[in-house]
Amino acid sequence: MLRAFAQNPAGWGCVALILLTMHQTPCLAGTAGILEGIVRDKKTSEVLPGVVVEIQALKRGSTTGPEGRFEFHNIPSATYDVRFALVGYRTLILKGVVVNADLRTRLDVVLESSEISIGEVVVTQQAPLVHPDVTSSAYFVSSNEIHDLPLTSVTDVVGLKAGTTLEGNIRGGRNTEVGYFVDGLPVQNLMSGGLGLQLPPNSVTNLSIYTGGFEAEYGNSLSGVINIVTKTGGNEHEFFLRALEDNLLGGTQVSKEKEVELSASGPMVRDRLFYTLSLDGSISGTRWWQDFERFFAEPIDNQLSGFGKLEYQFSPTMRLDAEVLFFLHQWRDYDFSWRLDLNGLPAERRTAYRFAVILTDSPSESFFYDLSLCNYRARSNIGDGSKNDLPVNNPYQYDFFLQYVISGSEALWMRSLQNTLTAKFDGTWSPAVNHLMKFGAEMNFNDLTSDIVKYTPRTTYFGRPLVNEPQLDFSSTYSYGPRSGGLYISDKIGGMEKRGSLLNVGCRFDFLDPRASRPSINPILMGDTAYAYQVAAPVRASLKYRFSPRVGLGLQATENSYFFINLGFYFQNPLFDYLYTGIDRVALEKGFSALLGNPDLEPEESTQWELSYRYSLPNEIVLSLAYFQKTTTNLIDSKTFVQGDVRIAGTFGFAQFVNVPEASASGLEIVISRDRGKWLTGEVSYTYMVTEGNSGSAFDGFYLAEYGFKPIVRSFPLSWDQRHTVKASIRYASDNGYLLDLVLHWHTGRPYTYYPTSNGFTASPGQDFVQNNARMPDFFNIDFKMQKHFSMDWWSKADFSLFVDIRNLTNEYNTVWMDSNGREGGELGDPSGHTIGRRARFGLQVSF
């Protein structure tokens, strides 16, 4: 271990950083920010000491020091009114001061002298057009945008930003490489990847999206970070209701969708105890309801998400939050080749809960910390009844042409559980005006169980089933308790005042203890092409650890323009399914799974740098340019170690997950945005990006071996490679209560593999297999939402809104996938080969 450390330059870089900063004592924790500034005399521009500064909603106050400065730490991310008062000056109230999580909000305040006492001056504060202390590309989305944009879920807003795809890929990475956090705590599906649960839209106060690198407080993410900050209650009761339906006008171009969202917040004990509740439920027949209705009663897809929070304010600087998130999802998958036997596909259900307790305290004006304890629990079920009822030895039946399944049931059953307990400490200390240090630690205790029975028929590369061949067995049972944790430290040095510079430097140390043994499997030759396998003594998986330094530099070129350079090393632990599938003693006793896990997998790693320029133009328009490069190594793929002759011996052998592939991405982003102003606001972006690698997923090597192809040793465009992408999110707000939002998305065609066949079993003569050697047609989509706000004389405190939300306004049928013959939707013309057609949702929203 010491030798590995000595050979790790990143590790020595982290040690150097820690030694440099230890003389100051050992983050903004993902939910709070800092409010700071300076107060001057309006006429003389001299600083004003002794000014009383009060954040009215939080009952927190301070006075400016000898240099006219004030600073509030640990301010929950929200919008506030800030009051400034000094004898001999007119009292000033700044309304609409926005504090974002992880950021400093700076105010330059001027007070007007007055010899007599007159009324307060009320001014609406404008947020800065450029955040000078964010050295990488990042986007901050408010709750109003989330509600007003034509979105289905909170995280859909990620796909509207430059450098991302609608499926959640960020700057060329796999969509499993994104880290999701709620109130600074992870909500990851650690077994199969992705966001662990959905939140009601009205439970969110803002959302931070980091696409160009992120600070050391965020770990276990390769490509990007999404941090969702939830709402808190105040001293006024607030209520919200939203209801919508997409088949209000009838017709067939609907999904039979209905959704209702309810929320409430306010005081339980004024100034002390506050509550926030939010609930969102939806039912749908899905886009396939016309096929489903022949087999099942509606709805087919049911979702319910909820959020609840209690916040106790011990003092203006100390509070305790207790919150619960839950998500219930029950649905049936659809497969076009099963449309004659849809009751043969198993029902699916997922439940997820997260309980968290967060203590926040500011013992001094320059230091605050968070102590967090949370438990995330997610259960996934596929199939009803017992796994012993599966038709393992009686596969389903195809029609004469081997195109449609006409009888039988899919041999798939699963019960899995992830139970993760996380303890976390985050501290923020400002030892001087131009220093902001963050440090913290976390520990994760996981309890993972999985029981899967899965048999799939062998097929040709072209999708035709080999009905006379034994099915591939992907069954697996495991139960493990891995541990992981980390430490981080960072410092923001300097500031952008008067054309200054900002240095943002930090480092993480993370470890993973798989707490498992790797089976040592020896092949025994039983014939010319057949093997048996013998498990030797298991080998204990080693402790994995990584150092990941990160540095950013900001330079103010002119009063309105900034240059930024950001360089970071990032890592992500492999998904636990890749570590443990099929290697449990119980699973091995039942026979080898076709695909085995590997608890000795190394973390996946990426190195990315970015050079960006941001310029504030007239009319409150911002131009942002960014060039980036990213290299990812140690990606997970599968490799076949022993393979028999499938046709003769009837055995595939086995494959195992390994660290092999590499990927790279580079590109240019141009963004023009206008976040505020009269009538017209929004964002337009263009991205040129090249994304290549030698593996598109963790299963590429397995399927190549199954189809008889040699492993890919060259780079090729990955399936989400969008060379040219244009996005626009435009908002028009009229003076008479109309609000129009239009979202446009266009990109050049993505790659697919053109390898034609005439019979579905063999390739056409003269064709070489080259992965992703052709391109699909371009993609174009417009979503549109129109709202009309109005009030009623009999209920003056309520705000009403009628809205229509139209997805795919122009009814485009964009290609999603093509078969190897270049046919959209394959031989059957599967409608899933193109996007869903136009859908119009009508609804009502009330807040009071």
559-593 pLDDT per residue, tens = 888 999 999 999 999 999 999 998 876 666 666 67
pLDDT confidence band for 366 (50 / 70 / 90): confident
pLDDT of residue 816: 95
589 CB-near residues (< 8 Å, 6+ apart): none
Q: Give the pLDDT confidence score for residue 531 in this predicted structure.
A: 55
- The CB-side HSE value for 834 (13 A sphere, CA atoms) comes to 18
Q: Residue 315 class from Cβ within 10 Å (0-12 exposed, 13-18 middle, 19+ buried)?
A: exposed
The DSSP symbol for 240 reads: E
Contact (CB, 8 A) for 576 and 481: no
- Report DSSP letters for 12-36, one per residue: HHHHHHHHHHGGG-----SSEEEEE
Half-sphere exposure of 593 (CA within 13 A, CB side): 28
- pLDDT of residue 9 exceeding 70, the answer is no
Strand-pair partners of 260: 243, 281
pLDDT one-digit tens code per residue, 670-708: 999 998 888 899 999 999 999 999 998 988 888 888 888
Q: What is the pLDDT of residue 17?
A: 42
Residues pairing with 844 in the sheet = 243, 802
What is the SS3 assignment for 216? coil
CA distance 669 to 683: 13
The position carrying tokens 């849809």 is 342
Q: 472-506 pLDDT, tens per residue?
A: 888 889 999 999 999 999 998 887 565 678 899 99
| 180 and 226 Cβ atoms separated by less than 8 Å | yes
* Residue type at position 482: P
**Distance between CA atoms of 405 and 396, rounded to whole angstroms?**
7
> What is the average pLDDT across 214-223?
90
Q: For 678-687, how does the pLDDT look when each residue is reduced to its tens digit (9 = 90+)?
A: 889 999 999 9
The pLDDT assigned to 653 comes to 60
92-99 vs 78-85, strand pairing mode: antiparallel
Q: Tell me which amino acid residue 271 is.
A: D
- Is the backbone peptide bond immediately before 299 cis, with ω within 30 degrees of 0? yes
Average pLDDT, the chain: 87
Q: Is the peptide bond before 9 cis (omega within 30 degrees of 0)?
A: no
Q: Which of 126-140, 274-288, 395-409 has the highest mean pLDDT?
A: 274-288
Q: Which helix (H) or strand (E) holds 10?
A: helix 9-21
Task: Give pLDDT, residue 29.
Answer: 45
Nearest to 74 by CA among 308, 316, 252, 344: 316
Judged on CB neighbours under 10 Å (0-12, 13-18, 19+), 624 is buried
Contact between 240 and 266 (Cβ < 8 Å) = no
The Cα 26–Cα 510 span in angstroms is 17
Burial class from Cβ neighbours inside 10 Å (0-12, 13-18, 19+) for residue 558 reads exposed
pLDDT value for 523: 60
Q: Which helix (H) or strand (E) holds 278?
A: strand 273-284
The yes-or-no verdict on residue 282 having pLDDT over 50 is yes
The structure tokens listed for 480 are: 């493990």
The span from the CA of 378 to the CA of 499, in Å, is: 49
Checking if the pLDDT of 647 tops 60, the result is no
Q: What's domain 31-124's architecture?
A: Sandwich (2.60)
353 CA to centre of own chain? 17
pLDDT score, position 534:
64
- Give the Cα separation of 367 and 159 in Å (integer): 36
Q: Tokens 């992500």: give the residue.
A: 572
pLDDT beyond 80 at 400: yes
Give the separation between CA 218 and CA 465, rounded to whole angstroms.
Answer: 45
Which pLDDT belongs to residue 773? 94
At residue 762, what is the residue type? Answer: T
Averaged over 537-543, what is the pLDDT?
86
pLDDT greater than 90 at residue 293:
yes
Length reported for the chain? 848
Q: Supply the pLDDT for residue 777.
A: 97
Q: What's the pLDDT tens digit per position in 146-202?
A: 889 999 998 899 999 999 999 999 999 998 999 999 998 999 899 988 888 999 999
pLDDT at 13 over 50: no
With contact defined as beta carbons under 8 Å apart, do 149 and 157 qualify? yes
Output the pLDDT for position 35: 85
Residue closest to 445 by CA, chosen among 348, 544, 377: 377
**Greater confidence, 214 or 15?**
214
In angstroms, what is the C-alpha Rg of the chain?
29
Cβ atoms within 10 Å, residue 65: 15
Q: Which residue has the higher pLDDT, 36 or 291?
A: 291
Q: What is the mean pLDDT of residues 725-740?
A: 93
pLDDT of residue 18: 39
Tokens of 384: 């009803």
Q: Where are the domains of the chain?
A: 31-124
At residue 265 the predicted structure's pLDDT band, cuts being 50, 70 and 90, is very high
Look up residue 224 and give its amino acid: G
Task: Taking residues 210-227, report their average pLDDT.
Answer: 91
Structure tokens at 815: 């290609």
Nearest 10 degrees: CA dihedral of 41, 44, 48, 52?
A: -10
The predicted pLDDT at position 57 comes to 82
